[in-house]
Chain A
């Protein structure tokens, strides 16, 4: 029973990672850019939702929606102002710009009260949770799982059916060919960043609802996305979801079982949930670098 309980909480956390990983994978798929500022987008989305709900006084759900749209706008602006100018530069410079941006956004957050201190969303879910034959699932956990499911359905529809989504897939597949068929690659890049901002904000909001808002914690989630996407395959959307959930479960299990074992071999203090995902990342890179669902790069000369 305890095992299943840990599994459930792992899945709930994993859903958050899946949401955050989604935006990351979108950017990587369309433009081959590894976005190191993802954690900052998550944090900004969550703080915006808090600010709109508590300081402005909007209804919580409206505030969340608005925060997601605003973060999408931020992602769009980042692409428009910084990354658009770097088209044609080596991809290393583009990635390093995202590292720099992460630092800038960090600094900007320190300029607000969110930089130091913890915040909790106003209670909008009933306390407690569902009781399923001895297993309890709290409402925030249900929210995380439900939110992710809804998001995935919307994204699935978007990519399978809508013209923009199909254009994005086309650009991801072959930039040159899609450009010659009249797809605006620039628009697709901008859209990828906007959607990434949206997904990041969604993840941040769910984290806020589950465990409260804290800048370091939110940015750590942005870092935990890397193991998830490597596990699933950097360019695979289903892989991001599976990878996120697996990493969530692993974290939950390592808190429950591994911490005690580690203490016996002399690593005191626990917190193995922070190290295990990165160990998984290293092992994956050693043995199966393209992940579970990623496409292996085949190079033709």
Chain B
């Protein structure tokens, strides 16, 4: 490696290189530029656009967690939204007493504990059964919240935070303040994600996912490895839920239903399972899709021609969202199972080797 700047691939020639996070200097520079760009981004955007960005980043955190359970451990989870809900309700209940930098980790830990309990079957059965355990948890969670007067029976519980270190958080700067909090959390969690999964534990997870019997023979405990992955995925979900609670200034149970869990799964698939880049691209794609589908259905509601050709009693607007989500999941799985990450990888490798193709 004479000139690290002219490098065309990752040629790792020593153990020290093999253990680095970043393969080459370009990655460090590009990630630095990306971070600077993300820090400056809100200055160019309006308040409502920052709100969309906040949602994308929050879902990115939840999808990162889902990528541990589904992407790395190979356990389908249709309950990630419920884990977000556990975090959000923990925050809602503790926010009046504790500062936000305590309540959000607390929400994550509570979610991890619940995830641990839900994941117990993974000690005994193969991954397919666990999908049903998460489904059961998702349904029970929504039911319990809807029946508990302590949780307002699923109606909005306000989560207030008026000032932070003397900075007054008003209607005007609310979105901007939480943008930076969410961004910081995301960066910390991405670093943790990368470090955890490139180490011994992450390799154990991959081994268990690809062949649990062989992993067992090599001295790993498949059940425990999966259970830990499950709790960890729930922790990420809980943190995302806590941030969502503060960002929306309220907790409502509608945010944490099965539909949202499926949407999170769609984000993970569309982005590309098991990748950091995918965890960012997936939520961005799905959230923007949702935004535009909603705009389209608003437009259709206002358009007299379309109104006149739809038969009475048909609500086209509410049909578009599940239709587009489902189609995106199905089409990506059929035609691009590695997700948007794969496109990004192809583009990147094109520019890296430009002007020569190898």
Query: Which residues of A are at the interface with B, using a C-beta cutoff of 8 A?
Result: 32, 34, 36, 82, 85-86, 89-93, 95-97, 99-113, 115-117, 223, 226-227, 230, 234, 262, 266-269, 271, 274-275, 278-279, 281-282, 285-286, 289-290, 297, 299, 301
CB-CB nearest in chain A for B327: A104
Question: Are A274 and B139 touching (Cβ within 8 A)?
Answer: yes
Taking a contact as CB atoms under 8 Å apart, the answer to whether B132 and A107 are in contact is no
In the assembled complex, the CB of A245 is this many whole angstroms from the nearest CB of chain B, namely 19
Does B32 reach chain A (CB closer than 8 Å)?
no
Checking B131, B140, B147, B148 against A278 with a beta-carbon cut-off of 8 angstroms, the contacting residue is B140
B318 proximal to A (CB < 8 A): yes
Query: A-B contact count, CB below 8 Å?
Result: 164
CA distance A269 to B325 in the complex (A): 32
Give the contacting residue for A271; candidates B132, B147, B311, B322; CB below 8 A: B147
Cβ 8 A contact of B153, one of A108, A262, A268: A268
* CB-based contact A266/B318 at 8 Å: no
User: Which residue numbers of B lie inside 8 Å of A, CB to CB?
Assistant: 70, 74, 76, 78, 118, 120-121, 124-133, 135-137, 139-140, 143-144, 146-150, 153, 213, 217, 262, 265-266, 269, 311-316, 318-330, 333-334, 337
10 contacts between A and B (CB under 8 A): A97-B333, A99-B262, A103-B329, A110-B318, A110-B323, A116-B318, A266-B150, A267-B147, A282-B118, A299-B213
User: In angstroms, how far is the closest chain A Cβ from the Cβ of B84?
Assistant: 18
- Chain A residues with CB under 8 Å of B139's CB are 223, 274-275, 278
CB distance from A47 to the nearest CB of B (A): 13
Please determine whether A92 and B330 come into contact, CB atoms closer than 8 angstroms. Answer: no
Known: A34-B132, A268-B153, A275-B139. A99 touches B265 (CB 8 A): yes
Q: B314 touching A112 by the CB < 8 A rule?
A: yes
| Shortest distance between the CB of A203 and any CB in chain B (Å) | 19
Whether the Cβ atoms of B269 and A96 lie closer than 8 Å is: yes
Please name all residues of chain A whose beta carbon is closer than 8 Å to the beta carbon of B313 when the two chains form the complex.
Answer: 113, 116-117
Which of chain A's residues have a CB closer than 8 A to the CB of B266? 100
**Partner among A86, A106, A275 whose Cβ is within 8 Å of the Cβ of B334:** A86
Q: Is B322 a contact of A103 with CB atoms below 8 Å? A: yes
Residues of B within 8 A of A36 (CB): 78
Contacts of A226 in B (CB 8 A): 132, 135-136
- Could you tell me the dominant secondary structure of chain B's interface residues? helix
Question: Considering residues B74, B147, B318, which has the most beta carbons from chain A within 10 angstroms of its beta carbon?
Answer: B147
Docked-complex contact B334 and A91, CB < 8 angstroms:
no
Task: Give Cα A113–Cα B319 distance, bound, in whole angstroms.
Answer: 11
8 Å CB contact of B128 from A85, A91, A286: A91
Alpha-carbon gap, A113 to B313, bound state (A) = 5
User: Do B311 and A113 have beta carbons less than 8 Å apart?
Assistant: yes
Contact of A96 among B76, B130, B322, B323 (CB under 8 A): B76
CB pair B70 A107 closer than 8 Å: no
Given contacts A106-B326, A289-B121, 12 further A-B contacts (CB under 8 A): A92-B76, A93-B333, A97-B329, A100-B266, A100-B325, A100-B329, A104-B322, A104-B326, A108-B323, A226-B135, A267-B147, A275-B144
Please give the distance in Å from B127's CB to the nearest CB on chain A: 7
Give every chain A residue within 8 A of B135 (Cβ-Cβ): 223, 226, 278, 281
B323 touches A104 (CB 8 A): yes
CB-nearest residue of chain A to B147? A267
Shortest CB-to-CB span from B70 to chain A, Å, is 7
Pairwise interchain contact A92-B132, C-beta atoms closer than 8 A:
no
